[in-house]
């Protein structure tokens, strides 16, 4: 006959409540509900799931030795926290690394380097005790034409930083409950980049690309919901500012009775970027006069013509409101840095100077076959002019050089007599083929 006074060693529930007890090796008994919670805790304790939280609440009074060590006493595995202040990469050091891959965009580089350095210092502040000054994070907004280097800047930072880093696309996001990805999935991407380590992910950096694509579609009030525009902006507010997010471990939609990973975004730095096509016209309209008649003619005579860089540099929050961004979101992106269209000289430098320059890449590919690649200076300028005409910035350079090198890359692996390939200006303009030199034995 079972003991009527027997109870669960964890929650204290008696067996009379209809909870059968499971005997353990040490002679104690545990109910099935606590066994299930124990199993869930073992699986989810690393991620801070709901089951782990419920289990911790149950045993914190009866068996405190079973609770995990507080996160403050656990090593997070983040290299930046183990550095001395003198070992942190300075903004100048970060800028030097960016210069090895990105041409131009001095203001954007300086802005990003200072923000990232301050982010490092902010991470170290949590380690200091007795400091009553709280440093808040400053999220960044990058705006510039396509092909100006926004995504490249973010990718380059990913190579030189020791914090988890991910790049997400805002165009796939929709308001919760509609077809598309939930906004919380951008935090899941960072968590995956941190190997599912919540402590590391909470100190990472997220780059949100194509931010302008979630602008409000119309200024007029509509009877339908703007689920991929204004709805996404509203969902991003708390995540960018800092909140506790419940993340599905495998992504996708949330559903009842699902275990979640809890991630705090207070220490996650957000860098947002977008082309914002049409923003310049809005700025120019604001900078222009509103007078009419003869007064407007007099004002137009003395009106200053602003360059593209000057126009973007004069962007104000109200310009983004007119573009379709909500004021609440712009208030959470206090740092703004414009990027400008690359000039012809910058495009020429982009072809040859960076470590991943296109000419260097093709020279390396041909060198593997024992062939030398020679690109004349006039040919480089011709490529840059064509890229400017295409209007897609640096992205046009790859399509141009791919077209030029197609026949060369087709012939070189099969023809062992080729010793050098020269690209001339006529080659770029399509008037002539690349100049190929072969060995003397082949000529004979």
* Whether the model pTM is above 0.75: no
State residue 358's pLDDT score: 93
Q: What percent of the chain has pLDDT over 70?
A: 75
State residue 20's pLDDT score: 66
State residue 62's pLDDT score: 44
For residue 364, the domain's CATH number is 1.10.8.60
Residue-by-residue DSSP string for 229-266:
THHHHHHHHHHHH--EEEE-TT-S---TT---EEEE-T
Residues 149 and 248 both lie in one domain: yes
Classify residue 214: in a domain, yes or no: yes
**Does the structure show a pLDDT above 70 at 330?**
yes
Average pLDDT for the chain: 79
Tell me the per-residue pLDDT of 10-33, one tens digit each, with 9 for 90 and over: 777 777 555 567 777 677 787 777
- Assign 443 a pLDDT band (cuts: 50, 70, 90): low
Report the C-alpha gap between 246 and 161 in whole angstroms. Answer: 26
Classify residue 97: in a domain, yes or no: yes
Residue 11 counted as an annotated binding residue: yes
Last residue of a domain, one of 274, 297, 312: 274
- Assign 65 a pLDDT band (cuts: 50, 70, 90): very low
State residue 2's pLDDT score: 45
Residues 48 and 129 both lie in one domain: no
Token pair recorded at residue 161: 């930083």
For residue 144, the domain's CATH number is 3.40.50.300
- Assign 312 a pLDDT band (cuts: 50, 70, 90): confident
Instruction: Tell me the residue range of the domain where 403 lies.
Output: 344-443
Residue 148 counted as an annotated binding residue: yes
Last residue of a domain, one of 258, 274, 290: 274
Residues 97 and 204 both lie in one domain: yes
Report the C-alpha gap between 140 and 273 in whole angstroms. Answer: 8
Residues 33 and 84 both lie in one domain: no
Tell me the per-residue pLDDT of 138-188, one tens digit each, with 9 for 90 and over: 899 999 888 888 988 988 887 787 788 899 998 888 876 677 788 888 999
Residues 46 and 127 both lie in one domain: no
Residue 272 counted as an annotated binding residue: no
State residue 14's pLDDT score: 74
Classify residue 53: in a domain, yes or no: yes
**To which H or E segment does residue 160 belong?**
helix 150-160
Tell me the per-residue pLDDT of 68-98, one tens digit each, with 9 for 90 and over: 433 333 333 345 555 555 567 889 999 998 9
What is the arithmetic mean of pLDDT over 351-369? 93
Residues 44 and 85 both lie in one domain: no
Residue 146 counted as an annotated binding residue: yes
Residues 256 and 196 both lie in one domain: yes
Residue 392 counted as an annotated binding residue: no
Residues 223 and 368 both lie in one domain: no
Tell me the per-residue pLDDT of 243-253, one tens digit each, with 9 for 90 and over: 898 888 776 66
Report the C-alpha gap between 171 and 187 in whole angstroms. Answer: 16
Tell me the per-residue pLDDT of 387-421, one tens digit each, with 9 for 90 and over: 999 888 888 999 999 999 999 999 999 998 999 99
Classify residue 338: in a domain, yes or no: no
Classify residue 349: in a domain, yes or no: yes
Residues 260 and 111 both lie in one domain: yes
Which residues 6+ apart lie within 8 Å of 304 measured at CB? none
Last residue of a domain, one of 254, 274, 294: 274
Per the structure, the count of domains in the chain is: 3
Classify residue 6: in a domain, yes or no: no
- Assign 127 a pLDDT band (cuts: 50, 70, 90): low
**Pairs from 245-252 (Cβ < 8 Å, separation ≥ 24):** 245/184, 245/187, 246/184, 247/184, 247/185, 247/187, 247/188, 247/191, 248/184, 248/188, 249/47, 251/181, 251/185, 251/188
Tell me the per-residue pLDDT of 206-242, one tens digit each, with 9 for 90 and over: 999 999 888 876 665 555 667 778 888 888 999 999 8
Report the C-alpha gap between 338 and 111 in whole angstroms. Answer: 10
Residues 148 and 223 both lie in one domain: yes
State residue 412's pLDDT score: 92
What is the arithmetic mean of pLDDT over 312-338? 91
Q: Are strands 435-438 and 418-423 parallel, antiparallel or unpaired?
A: antiparallel
Residue 302 counted as an annotated binding residue: no
State residue 245's pLDDT score: 87
Residues 218 and 106 both lie in one domain: yes
What is the arithmetic mean of pLDDT over 351-379? 93
Residues 53 and 126 both lie in one domain: no
What is the arithmetic mean of pLDDT over 306-312? 77
**Does the structure show a pLDDT above 80 at 46?**
no
Token pair recorded at residue 334: 């206090």
Classify residue 324: in a domain, yes or no: no
State residue 164's pLDDT score: 86
Give CA 429 to chain center in angstroms: 37
Q: What percent of the chain has pLDDT over 90?
A: 35
Residue 34 counted as an annotated binding residue: yes
**Does the structure show a pLDDT above 80 at 268?**
yes
Classify residue 84: in a domain, yes or no: yes
């Amino acid at each position: 006959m079972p003991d009527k006074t027997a109870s669960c060693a964890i929650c204290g529930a008696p067996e009379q409540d209809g909870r059968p007890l499971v005997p353990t090796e040490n002679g104690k008994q545990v109910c099935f509900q606590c066994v299930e919670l124990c199993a869930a805790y073992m699986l989810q304790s690393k991620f801070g799931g709901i089951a782990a939280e419920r289990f911790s609440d149950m045993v914190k009074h009866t068996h405190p030795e079973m609770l995990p060590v507080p996160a403050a006493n656990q090593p997070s595995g983040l290299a930046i926290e183990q550095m001395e202040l003198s070992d942190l990469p300075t903004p100048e050091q970060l800028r030097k690394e960016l210069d090895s891959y990105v041409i131009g965009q001095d203001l954007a580089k300086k802005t990003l380097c200072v923000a990232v350095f301050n982010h490092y210092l902010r991470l170290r502040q949590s380690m200091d005790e007795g400091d009553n000054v709280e440093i808040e994070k400053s999220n960044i907004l990058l705006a510039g034409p396509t092909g100006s280097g926004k995504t490249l800047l973010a990718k380059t930072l990913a190579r030189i930083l020791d914090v988890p880093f991910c790049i997400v696309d805002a165009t796939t996001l929709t308001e919760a409950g509609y077809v598309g990805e939930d906004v919380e999935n951008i935090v899941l991407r960072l968590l995956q980049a941190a190997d599912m380590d919540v402590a590391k992910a909470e100190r990472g950096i997220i780059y949100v690309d194509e931010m302008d694509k979630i602008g409000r579609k119309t200024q007029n009030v509509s009877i339908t919901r703007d689920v991929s525009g204004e709805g996404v902006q509203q969902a991003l507010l708390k995540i960018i500012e800092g909140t506790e997010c419940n993340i599905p471990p495998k992504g996708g939609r949330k559903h009842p009775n699902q275990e979640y990973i809890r991630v705090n975004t207070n220490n996650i730095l957000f860098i947002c970027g977008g082309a914002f096509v049409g923003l310049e016209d809005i700025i120019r309209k604001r900078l222009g006069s509103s007078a009419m008649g003869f007064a407007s003619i007099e004002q137009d005579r003395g009106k200053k013509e602003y360059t593209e860089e000057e126009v973007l540099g004069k962007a104000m929050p109200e310009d983004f409101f007119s573009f379709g961004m909500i004021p609440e979101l712009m208030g959470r992106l206090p740092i703004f840095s414009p990027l400008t269209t690359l000039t012809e000289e910058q495009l020429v430098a982009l072809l040859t100077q960076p470590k991943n320059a296109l000419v260097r890449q093709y020279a390396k590919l041909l060198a593997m076959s024992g062939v030398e690649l020679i690109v004349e200076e006039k040919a480089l300028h011709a490529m840059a002019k064509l890229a400017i005409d295409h209007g897609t910035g640096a992205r046009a350079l790859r399509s141009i050089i791919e077209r030029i090198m197609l026949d060369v890359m087709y012939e070189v692996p099969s023809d062992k007599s080729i010793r050098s390939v020269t690209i001339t200006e006529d080659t770029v303009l399509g008037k002539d083929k690349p100049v190929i030199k072969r060995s003397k034995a082949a000529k004979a």
